[in-house]
Structure 1
Amino acid sequence: MMKMQIANEADRKESQNRERRRQCELERRSRIFNARNRKIGVDVPFLERQIGEKRAERDEQNRRDLAFATQMIKDSNLAVVLEAREKEERRRIGLEIDAYRQSYQRPEDRREFDLNDPDVLKKQLPPRATDGPPVGMSSAQKFEGEDLEFEERRKVMAAQKNSWLEQQVQERMAAEDERKKAEAAYMMAIKARDARASELDKLERECRYRLGQANLRYNEALATEKKQMDQVFKEQEEADNTAEMYNNLTSDMLTENPDVAKSALGKNRAIGFMYKGMNQEELKKFYAAQKEQMIASKAKREAADKMEAEWQALAKSIQREVARQDIADQRKRREIARQLMEENQLLALQQKEKEKYYRDVVNNNTPTDEYYAQFNTTTR
């Protein structure tokens, strides 16, 4: 019969201690044999110098970022100011346009306002308001073919026809009076011409009588008769010339009498073939109105030119400011690129010096396999 050995308390404690020491050895071995956690041969001054360079590089980057942010704030403020000016100018122009529309382009002044009037139904009367007794809303208000305003329209048409007839009668009477006056003037001219012809005929008969008397006394007064005949012809020619000049000078054609051009149809109307032009007062009014129109057109043109010039000046100033900012940004970018290139060259030189230092100073003693064989044999 086999005898089983039973572990006592001391054995259990010893077993626990051994297990604990074994676990500690495994943990220690994992820490010591891990190359990432093991630090051998660290160059502290080089690390401090590298930390200082990183810190300086970070400070320089912060300074550049601050400079860029400051410049961006300035550019943003300038853009905000220019945008505010443009908005203010557009707002002012909009206010002027609205004021002009409210003063001169009101909706109720339009020709088609009756088509767009929102109160047109309120202003309309019922279709059967004046055609007998009123009917209910559910009743038929108007039938196809009805003419509810026939009587009123017939009265208006009759009154309009009567007014047209009276106007035609007045025009005919005025034309007839004008014709009678013209005929009377023509008859007076004919009578004056006949009277003048009778007078000339009378003078001619008298001259002939005198000539006959002179012929009878030819032998006695030939020289006197000839002198008298010359005197009579001269007087007759002078009288004819004087009468002709007087008639021409006193005619309506040379005197340009504006009264003959007045029409009986109205004070502002004139007879075309007798119209001689405007008088001095009418010419003054015409020239004054023309001058006012020229002044208004010139002012309007100057205002438009001024507004266009202001817009052009504002656009040019904005373009100049944008071009200046672009040039400044390009200059800054070139300067930053140059600085980055110099820093990169300096870093490349430092990297080369660092590699040379590692190659010539740090890594000049290459260990052999025998050197590595003495390590990692135990944790103690």
Structure 2
Amino acid sequence: MMKLQISNDQDRKEAQNRERRRQCELERRARIFNARNRKIGVDLPFLQRQIVEKRAERDEAERTNLAFAKQMIKDSDVALVLEAREREERRRICAEIDLFRSKFQRPEDRREFDLNDPDVLKKQLPPRASDGEPVGKSSAQKFEGEDLNYEERRKVMAEQRNAWLEQQVQERKAAETERRQAEAAYMMAIKARDARAGELDKLERECRYRLGQANLRYNEALAAEKKQLEQVMKEQEEADNCAEMYNNLTSDMLTENPDVSKSALGSNRAIGYMYKGMNQEELKKFYAAQKEQMAASKAKREAEDRMEAEWQALAKSISRTSERLDIEDKRRRREIARQLMEENQLMALQQKEKEKYFREVVYNNTPTDDYYAQFNTTTR
């Protein structure tokens, strides 16, 4: 059976110490074998010159940013002035529109004002208090089946029903008595009728003959009278037609008399169905008003065109100024880049000469492989 050794606290402490020493050795090796940290000496005048150049470049950038900030503030001031002018112009136009609406577009002059009238409830009729009030169906105040006097009417109907029942009883008794008397009289009448039948038959035949003769004579007279009446009506219709044509020819409608269209409600009102148009004086006033409106519209359009031209000129000026500043900034940046490239080229040339000096003058003693083999073997 294989025995396994279990580690104790001392073994763990020794393992931790070994790991700590190994980490310290790795950190020391990374620090000592770093060629940049082991380099001896730096070019102090070159570093100072770089510091001076960086400061000059930073000052130039600050001056450029300051110039841009001043120009931006100036442009902002101009934009604020133009915006204030635009707001004032918009306010003036809105005031004119509100004045025009208050004079010529009032709510009470609209066709649908009765739908939006705030006093419409004050003008409405009150709800009905009884069935006797005259209200229309569209008022929604009286509906089919409503009966406000139902209790009173029910009492009257009960009394009337009792009276009707009493009257029906009396009428039924009277009808029964009359029926009996009628039956007796009917029997007597039948007997008399049978006796009278033969006599009436004879009289009827004679009467029919005489009635036919009279009817024939009446029809002949009626036809003659109808023919004469038609002739009279025809002559009357012709006379009425002639009178109507004469009245139409001489009426105010065809002669277009302007006085008939005047209304009794005022001199500036006219009757619509008799109005024949404006007279010469009214036409002159109408054309003059049209010309004034056209002149006002033309002046307004010209003012708007001038305002738009001024806005366009200002926008072009601002655009040209911005383009000029952008061109100057690009030219300055190209000049700075060119100077920086020349300086870098000069520094590269100096670096090459320095390396050549170290390689040919300072480091002319070329070491062997044995010399390099003794380094980087340990940190101690």
Q: Pick the TM interval, shorter chain.
A: 0.3 to 0.5
TM-score in terms of structure 2 length: 0.47
TM-score (norm 1): 0.47
